[in-house]
Structure 1
Amino acid sequence: MNGPEMGGNDGEEHGQKGAKESFSDSNLIKNSKGNLITADSDDNLKEVFRQIKTSKTPTVINYGASW
């Protein structure tokens, strides 16, 4: 996957059942269970960090190049 990833379940489920990834209201890419978020731009990354700061859920960040 490209970009940072955030693990943790915020209780929200977006997209159709069985879909691997979908866009949430904040334009961050989430998987169908809502527990993995991928940011694909600087603005999306800022939104991920904002969610991490306001969340009480443990978070894992995977940040690295995809080459």
Structure 2
Amino acid sequence: MTKSAMKPRVRTVVETARILKTRNTNVYKLIKSGKLKALKLGNMSVPDSEIDRFIDTYKGKTLKEILEDEE
């Protein structure tokens, strides 16, 4: 597989927000709350595997419910 054909392994906050169909500020809130784990690689980056985990864990819940959920 060529380098250009490889799927990115981490996403920026902007890309993550686009994938989750929300605002950048909401992604930062999710990161700060620990609901979405990110890496600090210059800027915040979210691994694709973490986005998948987040979607599987919280599907069917609203952002408000996720942020209020104390696990």
Of structures 1 and 2, the one with the larger relative CO (CA 8 A, separation 6+) is 1
Length-normalised TM-score, structure 2:
0.29
Q: Which has the higher strand share?
A: 1
Q: Which has the larger radius of gyration?
A: 2
Give the number of the structure whose residues are more often helix, by fraction.
2
